[in-house]
Structure formats: structure tokens, C-alpha cells
Amino acid sequence: MNPRARKLSDPPRARTSQKPPRRPPRAIVLLGNQRFDPTVKAALDELELEGPIATITAGWQERESEDRELTEHLGCRTFNLLLHRRADEVFAHDRELRAAHRKRQETLRHKQDFYRIRLEHELDANQVIRQRRAPPEILAEEKTASIEAIRDLDRYHLAQCERVHAEYEREVRPFERPHVAAHRRELADMLAQCNALAITGGHVASILNRMRLFGVAELLDGHVVCGWSAGAMVLTDRVVLFHDSPPQGQGAAEVLDRGLGLAPGLVVLPHPETRLKLHDDERVGVIARRFAPARCLAFPERRQITLERTHDESLELVRPTGIVELAPDGTTAVHGIPPAPPSRPGIAAPFYAEGGSTLPVFEVGRPSSPGAARPSSPGAARPSSPGSLRPSSPGSLRPSSPGAARPSTPGAGRGSDPGFGEGSSG
């Protein structure tokens, strides 16, 4: 008999080094574009946070350390987790992991390309069906069937992405590799000194891949997490790229990958001023029906909403400031009082109209109460300064000059999105 074996009658041995389980984030703050008039500090001040704030600027890629203006805006000590640089260091020392990572990303790019090809045909068919004349009951059935075909394709693609990730994690076990594990220990120590984590915009795939590589979401322990633009998109349970008027032609929303799942039941759509035709009832309705029961929320500049954890560990959406929700019938509703317009010209007036109904609390995944919001005005004008989300100067919160978008890749079709980052690269 093995002398180390314990009899069933023996009492269990005490675990002396067992750590208490980590707590989920106590609040998630989702914000719109922070390019010109940042409101991150005000949003965090509402939660009465004290102490240092950890930041993730990996979406700026090689310029992630240029965070001086972000630190100045937050007005406190910050710890930049430097995930982009850490990933480069890991890949430089662990060539096996780098090769596996590249193989996974190549597989995801192929999957995304074939998904786009099929998606383009399904969307074309949907558009033709919507324009056909037929008895109302028949047309309604065919419209529903067309949307379900698109939803099935989205689900299939997301399942394919999850399978690729699961195979990679099972074969590579990145958290057990020495260099990744060492960086995770450092990141855990840094996060332990902070009460909040702020995630900037930028290249959405770079943010998602770096946070996933180091398991940042699993290192959180009761933090407040704040994300804007692409940084807000990665917090949801699926990342949706979208652009109704991309430079290369017609555009449509496409699923990129699964997100981190910290803000479930939502589809975050930043930059609607330049990326969404909210006056087009058909396009709005297709997006809302396609991703239901998730709620499609557009975040114009200076808009925000908070997901607060309740006593029963559920999440409630509270304190919306002019968030625009897309409805299945093609209408839009504004939740909360929109903020005052920025002190500069060229802002789309409907996004900053005065008034608007206030909806203090509504739960994730549940429709808002009838009559609680008013539809937004049609015909929104575009602001004069679109562009990418990277900083334009050292430390800047603002993106680089317009026109810096990368050309679409072959076969990208209508779903290619140069602003948020192409495919699963990075």
C-alpha cells in the first residue's frame, strides 16, 4: 500500500496556502469615444474610487507607452500594464508559443474570410427579400427566415472561433508556460494595488488577444473596469465589427470573435456618428434582430453607461447618459439625458439634442419599459473628424489623423472594418 495514500476514514488535510476566490468586477463602465473631450475621470469619480488605476493601452500597439495625457486626465497614479510589450517579450523568449499563436491567428483569419464570403451572400439575399412584393404574411415569414439564416451563420462562426481557441489553449496551455506565468504574477501584483482598470480604444483585436494571452480578466478581484470604444467592445461576450459606410464600399456588421464576457448581453457600437446610419430603419432593424436578445447600444461621443453588480450578483445597467438603443422594428431610443455638446463645431446635432427621457435602471438582457425612451432624430449629420483610434501625439487620448485606415484585405467584402482592426490579427 502506498504510504502516502489516505484512508477514507482519515480527516482531510488542512490547506494552508489556499487563496480566497477572486471576486467579479463590482462595476463595468462603458463609454463612447474619448478622442476630444474625455470623460473617463468623471465616470470613475461617480463611483468614488481612490488609489491608483491600472491601464491597458495595448490597442495603440507599439505606441502603448505614450500615455502621459491619459495619466494627467485621470489625475492619479497609474500602472500601465503594457500588454503589447509583454506579449512581444514572451514571443521573443518562447518560440514554440509564438509559432502556435501565429498558427491560431492564421486559422482565425481564414475562418473570418470564409465567414465574410457567406455573410455577404446572406445579406444580399436579405436585402432582395426585403424589397420584394408579396402578401404580408408570406413576406414576414421570408424576412424572418432570412434573418435566422444570418443568425445561424453568426452562431456557426462564433462556435468555430471558440473551437480554435479551445484547441490552442488545450495544446499550448499558455498560463503554465514560464514566461507567461512570470508576467501574470507581475500583472496580478500591479492589479492588487489598484481599484480600477481602464482600457483605452485602438486596435480591438490587439486588445482582445493580449488580454486573453495573459488572462487579465481572471486576475480581476472586485475592480471597477472602465472601457471606451474598442476597449468597451472587448468587454462584451462577442465583438461585433461594423461600418455602414466604409471607404471601400458597402458595409455590414460582422462577428469578429468572442469577447471577455464581463459585460454580457450587450453589443457595443461606438462611433455611431460616423459608422451607423441610424436614420435607416431597415439597417437598424436588421442589426437589432440579428443579435437579439442581446441589446445593441450605440455610444456617441461623451456618452456612457454603468453596469453595477447587485446584492444577488446580477448586473444592472444604470446612469445612462444618452445611450442610443437599436430596436428590432428599426427605431432607436435614447436612454438617459444626453450631455451638453462639446465646445467645438462639426458635431451631429441629433446626438446632442436637449431633453430626452431618463431611464434610471434597466437590467442586462431585458427590454426597457414601454415609453421609457424617445426615438432619436433622423438624418444625423456626420462630424468632420472621423479616423482611427490611435493617439496622435505622445500620451494623447486622441486618434491619429483621418485617412490612416488600412486598406481592406482580399476577400474582406462588405464586413471589413479598418477603424477597429482587421480580423483577428495581432
User: What band does 246 get if pLDDT is binned at 50, 70 and 90?
Assistant: confident
Q: What is the mean pLDDT of residues 197-221?
A: 96
How confident is the model at residue 366, as a pLDDT? 39
Residue 110's CB is within 10 A of a number of other CB atoms, namely: 13
pLDDT digits (tens, 9 = 90+) for 365-405: 433 333 333 333 333 333 333 333 233 333 334 433 333 33
Q: pLDDT: is 411 or 34 the higher one?
A: 34
pLDDT digits (tens, 9 = 90+) for 36-93: 888 899 999 999 888 799 999 999 999 999 999 999 999 888 999 999 999 999 999 9
pLDDT digits (tens, 9 = 90+) for 141-167: 999 999 999 999 999 999 999 999 999
**Domains of the chain: which residue ranges?**
39-94+177-235, 112-172, 243-385
288 backbone dihedrals φ, ψ, rounded to 5°: -65, -45
Q: Which CATH architecture has domain 39-94+177-235?
A: 3-Layer(aba) Sandwich (3.40)
Cβ proximity of 359 and 336 under 8 Å: yes
Comparing C-alpha atoms, which of 185, 226, 183 is closest to residue 82? 183
